[in-house]
Amino acid sequence: MLYDLNIAWSPATTTERLLQTLTTASSLGYATVALNHTLELPFPANPTTPFPSLPTSSSSSPDSKLPHVLHRATLPLADPAASNYRLPSLVGVYDLLAIRPLTEKAFQNACLTLDIPIISLDMAQHFPFYFRPKPCMAAVSRGVRFEICYSQALAADPRGRANFISNATNLIRATRGRGIIISSEAKNAFGLRAPADVVNLFNVWGLQSEKAMEGLRTIPRSVVVNEGMKRDGFRGVINIVQVVKKNPVEGDQTDDQSSATDQPGKRKNQKRKNGGEDGQTISKREAKKMKLAARAAASDKK
C-alpha cells in the first residue's frame, strides 16, 4: 500500500480540482493520502476541521475510486518558546500533525524535544544552518520522521531546484537514509508522479531504492498507525479480552522427563560418576589415583 501524506490544500482549493487530484493519486497507486492544511499564526483557540466532505467516487467518473483521505495540519515553527502553539487542541481535530521549522533553534527543538511525528521542510529555500547528523539521528531514534516533498523541486525555479537537491542530499546523508517520508505536496494533479519515477529521482539524490520504497510504504504507514493509536487509546492502556490456554501436545514431555525437570539435581547426578555420598564429581585422574592407592595398600598388606 502506497502513501502520500501531503496533498496541499487550502480554503481556496475548489472541490473539482481536489477530486481531480485525488483521482489521479488513486490511479497512480496511492491508496492513502493526507490533505495538508498549512496553518498560519496565531492558531485558533478552538480549532475545527476546515476540510470539505468528499464523496466516495468522482461524479464525473463513477468507476474511479478515491483513496482513503486523512486530514493533516502543518505548523510553521519559528520560536519554540511561543505560547500560542496549541498542539494538544489540534490533536483531536486533525489525523496528523507536522512541524515546519523556519530557524535553526526551531529545528533543534523539533528534533530533540518536541512531541511531533513529522518534520516537514521546504527544501527549495536556503537554510541558514546545516543538517547535522547528531540531532537528525536523535530525532529518528525518538520516532520522528523527516518529510521530503518532491513537488517542491518540480515547481521551483533553477535556484530553488539547486537548493532542493543540496538540502535533500545533506538530509539524506545526515540521517543515513533512515526515517524519511516521501510525499508530493502537490497542489494539483500535475504535481503527482508515479512511485517508480519517485524512487528513481531519490536514487539520483542519494537515497537507495529500498529506503525510497520504505518512504512510500512502511514508514508513512507506521506514522498513521501510531497517531491513530494515540487518538483512540487512553494513556497506553490495552484491554486484554481473553488469555489463550496452551493445549497439551503429544510428545512434549514424558512422566520421567517431567519428574527430572522437577528435580534438576537428579538428572545432573545421573551423569556424574559415583564418587561419594555428597554427589561431587570425580575426574578420571582422581579416580586413577585412588585406584593406584588401593592397589598399593593391598600389596602392603600382603
Sort 291 into a burial class: Cβ within 10 Å, 0-12 / 13-18 / 19+: exposed
Exposure string of 111-121, with b = 16+ CB inside 10 Å and e = fewer, is beebebbbbbb
Summarize pLDDT for 216-265 with one digit per residue, the tens: 999 999 999 998 887 776 555 554 455 556 665 555 554 444 444 444 45
- The beta-carbon contacts of 284-288 under 8 Å, at least 24 apart in sequence, are none
**Counting beta carbons within 10 angstroms of the beta carbon of residue 92, is it exposed (0 to 12), middle (13 to 18) or buried (19 or more)?**
exposed
For residue 59, pLDDT beyond 50: no
The gap between the terminal CA atoms of the chain, to the nearest Å, is 93
Q: Where are the alpha helices (DSSP H) in 144-217?
A: 151-155, 158-175, 195-204, 209-216
Long-range contacts of the stretch 298-302 (C-beta < 8 A, 24+) = none
Q: At residue 140, does pLDDT exceed 70?
A: yes
Three-state DSSP class for residue 152? helix
Helix (H) or strand (E) holding 285: helix 284-301
User: What is the third-level CATH fold of 2-232?
Assistant: TIM Barrel (3.20.20)
- Look up residue 252 and give its amino acid: D
Mean pLDDT of the chain: 81
- DSSP state, 57? B
* pLDDT band at 289; cut points 50, 70, 90: confident
CA 30/CA 21 separation, integer angstroms: 11
DSSP 203-246: HHTT--HHHHHHHHTHHHHHHHHHHHHHHHSSTT------PPPP
**Joined grid coordinates for residue 20:** 481531480
Q: Which of 85, 129, 83, 75 is nearest to 107 (CA)?
A: 129
Least confident of 30-39, 44-53, 129-138, 148-157: 44-53
- pLDDT, mean of residues 2-22: 92
CA distance 250 to 261: 17
Whole-model pTM: value is: 0.72
